[in-house]
Amino acid sequence: MENNILISLAGIGVLGIGCQWLAWWARLPAILFLLIVGIMVGPVFQLLDPDTLFGDLLFPIVSLSVAVILFEGSLTLKFEDIRGHGNTVRNLVTTGALVTWVIIAYSTHYLMGFSFELAFLFGAVVIVTGPTVILPMLRTVRPNAKVANVLRWEGIVIDPLGALLAVLVFNFIISGQQHNALSIITLTFGKIILFGSLIGLFSGWLLGELLRKQLVPQYLRNVITLITVFTVFSLSDLVEHESGLLAVTIMGMTMANMKDMHIDDVLDFKESLSLLLISGLFIILAARIEFSQLILIGWPSLVILVITMYVARPLAVFISSIGSDLTINEKLLIAWIGPRGIVAAAVSALFALRLESAGIPEASLLVPLTFLIIIGTVIIQSATARHLASMLNVREPPPTGLLIIGAGNVARAIGKILQQHGFKIVLTDSTWENTSLARMDGLETYFGNPISEHADRHLNLLGLGKVLAMSGRGSLDTLACLRFKAEFGVKNVYELKTTREKHISDKHIVSTKHRGYELFGEDIAYGNLAYRLRNGAELKSTQLSDEFSFENYLEQYGERVIPMFAIDTKQRLHIFVTNGKMTPESGWTVIGMIDPE
């Protein structure tokens, strides 16, 4: 018995992380694979029975997991971000959400026979898109900047707001279950809102002050934050039943909007923890679905899916974008992309458990209906959005461009020759003279620090796929590599060694794990390349052939050449690095710095 439990728990972990990896490889939202795997190991093959495995612990585990997920989502909700992204995003998360909510609620009431209370709860649950499903889709679709910004910020903002709305509707239903008189229901609902909000505000302010004033050691920040979430959720539920989810959501929003509050490390920890919880949680939740429930939701559920995608979403988008500068094609793509995600699945499962225990039999259909909407929107929109974006001509070119940190003579020379070969190039520099010279050379520039908050908002990275850090300032280059590894991936970040590093011991050099791939060769440094350029060296392109191989190229120029880049026959850029094993082939173009004879 004990071995079976251990195997089941380990199996859930392995399957969950396996689904996350598969989603990364396929560039699709992970929730799709998690739900499908959960259904396969649950009702299909009956390998996992969560109720038997967890028993009375199932409900508390799901409750605490959802509390962490909602807290992590609300930590990203900064009110200044809403103001900074135009009327369209604001309208989508207010007017658009209201339109979607009402349409889905009434459709569910009349098609599924749900009570108005349960129908409006379902409508509130499925208005949430969320960054966990939007961002993987945006990476695949690659829409233009306006569309991408609207969808990205809508997902970030609607995540906690939609969850908050669902929590309020759920609390109203619970209030009505406990009392009959409208005045008593209103009083109970008001108490839930009051105590949940007060406890959330106070605990968020208190924890924020402790973290902001460094009263908690660095190594305890994440653990104390997690324990505080559990404590606030439990305490609020104890003070006023069913107010815990509201409290942790308000708590996260409070911390996110405190001045001088740096919670990046806490947010990173919460994202990792949420990833772990989500991976296991949705396999467990999907495994609880029974085929009888899928049969009961029947064809009306498919009609609700169609109404959600073809009526509610387009209507919400077109109403919300009245007076905006979005073109009709951009509006059409935004209207098509609206996959439901993590919060919808988590909240619906938790509410279904609670409502079933409260004696509402229809609540058992809430989970399969929500999962159908999630799987339907993710599969259909993931399969078609990229082609639709191409048809509407609102798709960005492939991310083959390069972001170059620095605009000195080395960076400008490299930027010019790569731009001549058709690659998009953006140079960043805090020195106005360098930036001006780059602009005179016809290069796109960003004047400022690439790792500043201003750059986070205004440095356009669309169409860029690689980073070359070559400012000649070791500290800036290393920080830039750390900053952009998350954006571009570890394999696409490169750094040019500074001259100083060639003359100091290892104990003064930043560890390679924090840096990008070392550019061009072990003996090549920024000062060396800058010196060569000042003394007449040039960057030249050479076409290889069967008669003139890469070996012939090296023999011809000898020590006068430093091979830097190679472009293959499919116009893909390859970069020479220290300890690299690239050998350009016939038909490739080699770009190297060649000294005069």
* Residue bearing the bigger pLDDT, 110 or 136: 110
How far is the CA of 259 from the CAs of 209, 212, 247, 435, 456, in angstroms? Answer: 10, 9, 21, 33, 18
Q: For residues 518 and 497, is the Cβ–Cβ distance under 8 A?
A: yes
Which of these CATH numbers, 1.10.3710.10, 2.60.40.60, 1.10.760.10, 3.40.50.720, describes 401-594?
3.40.50.720
Phi then psi for 224, rounded to 5 degrees?
A: -65, -40
Q: Which pLDDT value is given to residue 316?
A: 92
- C-alpha 71/C-alpha 568 separation (Å) is 47
Q: For residues 364 and 293, is the Cβ–Cβ distance under 8 A?
A: yes
- C-alpha 340/C-alpha 474 separation (Å) is 43
> Whose structure tokens read 């908002």?
457
Residues 394-447: pLDDT tens digits? 887 777 788 888 888 888 888 888 888 888 888 888 888 888 888 888 888 888
pLDDT-wise least confident of 27-41, 269-283, 531-545:
269-283
pLDDT-wise least confident of 80-84, 262-266, 538-542:
80-84
pLDDT exceeds cutoff 70 at 270 = no
Q: Which pLDDT value is given to residue 477?
A: 77
Average pLDDT, the chain: 80
- C-alpha 359/C-alpha 362 separation (Å) is 9
pLDDT exceeds cutoff 90 at 318 = yes
Q: Which pLDDT value is given to residue 215?
A: 83
Tell me the domain boundaries of the chain. 2-166+279-391, 401-594
Q: What is the mean pLDDT of residues 466-474?
A: 80
Q: What is the mean pLDDT of residues 542-561?
A: 85
Residues 72-88: pLDDT tens digits? 767 766 666 555 556 78
Q: How confident is the model at residue 596 (pLDDT cuts 50, 70, 90)?
A: confident
> Whose structure tokens read 């016809």?
442
SS3 assignment, position 544: coil
Q: Which pLDDT value is given to residue 503?
A: 55
Q: How confident is the model at residue 100 (pLDDT cuts 50, 70, 90)?
A: very high
Q: Which pLDDT value is given to residue 481?
A: 78
> Whose structure tokens read 């009083």?
187
pLDDT-wise least confident of 42-56, 486-500, 549-563:
486-500
* Residue bearing the bigger pLDDT, 107 or 222: 107
H, E, C per residue of 313-377: HHHHHHHHCCCCCCCHHHHHHHHHCCCCCHHHHHHHHHHHHHHHHCCCHHHHHHHHHHHHHHHHH
Q: Which pLDDT value is given to residue 305?
A: 92
Is 0.85 surpassed by the pTM of this model?
Answer: no
Q: What is the mean pLDDT of residues 44-53?
A: 83
Kind plus residue range of the DSSP H or E element containing 482: helix 474-488
